[in-house]
Structures are given as structure tokens and as C-alpha cells.
Amino acid sequence: MRRMLFVALVLACACAGANAQMKIGYINSETIMATLPEAVDAQKSLDLLVSGWETELQKMQADWKKKFDEYDKKKLILTDQVRADQEKQLRDLDQSITDYRNKKFGQNGELFQKQNEVMKPLQNKMFKVLEDIAKEDGFDYVFDRSGEVLLLYANDKYDLTQQVLTRMQRFGK
């Protein structure tokens, strides 16, 4: 559906711009973010944080499995009350694992918030530099190749990735 909308947009622009020459450029934001030292450092700090959370999650899951295996071995000889208590403990532990996962990795979890806090300023900087370049060089449209928008053909002379990257590196100095 998005691809069809994109194709329709390109065709509409091409038809509307038949009398006027349009200038279209593109960047690869993934390349920019992977090359900028501050973005690489930010990603490393996020990866370190995620690694710690994943380790904690694995410990919690291993603890649950150990308790479940112990319960499973003894469940036939346990009284109904003890079995019900251990099943409740397992359910509670499973719920705490789910809660922890959602708290750290959920839609509005700590990872999302931390990514926003760390990466948003870099993205805003990139968009500001891109906007300046597009206005200075008279581009009508600039697409990001690394996202969902697919370009079927792109002339490399319109690739602004290196220009944005160079200016962003100078911008920080």
C-alpha cells in the first residue's frame, strides 16, 4: 500500500512538474548514524544497557525454569495446598518476568525512552543539516533510502549522504 502511494506520488509529481525541472535527492540515514562518532557512542551505550537488561531477564527465566523443574518432579507427591502455592509462585514469577520485559523493552519502556533521549538530538541535527543543504542546493524532495521508501532508481549524483555527514561532523566542532 505504501509503495503504491509512493509510486502515485512520484507519478503525480512527474506529471505536475513536466514544465518545470524537479530536483530530487536522497540520503542513507543509517550510513550517517553508523559513521558519526557521537551516534556510534550513543548506540554503544544503549547496547550496553540492553545487554545488562537481557542478562537480568535470562537470570529471571533460568530461576523460573529451575523452580518449575523442581515443582514438576514433585507435583505428584505434593498436597493440593502446597501444589497450589507453588503454582501461584510460578505464575507470579512468570508475571514478574513479563512485567520486567515490558518495563524495559515495551512500547513505552525504558529502552524506547532512552533511545529517544540519546538519539533524538542527533536525528534533529541531521534533519536540520539536511534541510539547510536541500534549501541551499534547490532540492524539491529528499528521500531516505534506509527506511521503508524504496527507490527503484537513483542517480548517485543526487546522493546527499556524504554531504550531510561531512557537514554534521564539522557542525560538532
- pLDDT tens-place string over residues 136-160: 998 888 888 887 765 545 667 788 8
Closest CA to 126 of 98, 156, 155, 165: 165
Mean confidence (pLDDT) of the chain = 85
Average pLDDT over residues 83-89: 95
Confidence band, pLDDT 50/70/90 cuts, at residue 11 = very low
Question: Percentage of the chain with pLDDT > 70?
Answer: 83
Element housing 24 (H / E): strand 24-27
Query: Mean per-residue pLDDT for 8-28?
Result: 64
Is the confidence at residue 104, as pLDDT, over 70?
yes
Domain limits, the chain: 21-171
DSSP helix/strand/coil, 148: coil
- Please report the pLDDT score of residue 121 as a whole number: 92
Across 123-162, b (16+ Cβ under 10 Å) vs e yields eebbeebbeebbeeeebeebbbbbeeeeeeeeeeebbbbe
Interval 100-125 mean pLDDT: 94
- Measured distance CA(43)–CA(36) in Å, rounded: 11
Q: Would you state the pLDDT for residue 139?
A: 85
Ranges of H-type helices in 79-150:
80-105, 110-137
At the topology level of CATH, where does 21-171 sit?
A: Protein Binding, DinI Protein; Chain A (3.30.910)
State the pLDDT at residue 150.
Answer: 52
Output the pLDDT for position 35.
93
Q: What is the pLDDT of residue 13?
A: 53
Q: Return d(Cα 150, Cα 10) in angstroms, integer.
A: 12
Query: Among the ranges 8-12, 101-105, 117-121, 151-155, which has the highest mean pLDDT value?
Result: 101-105
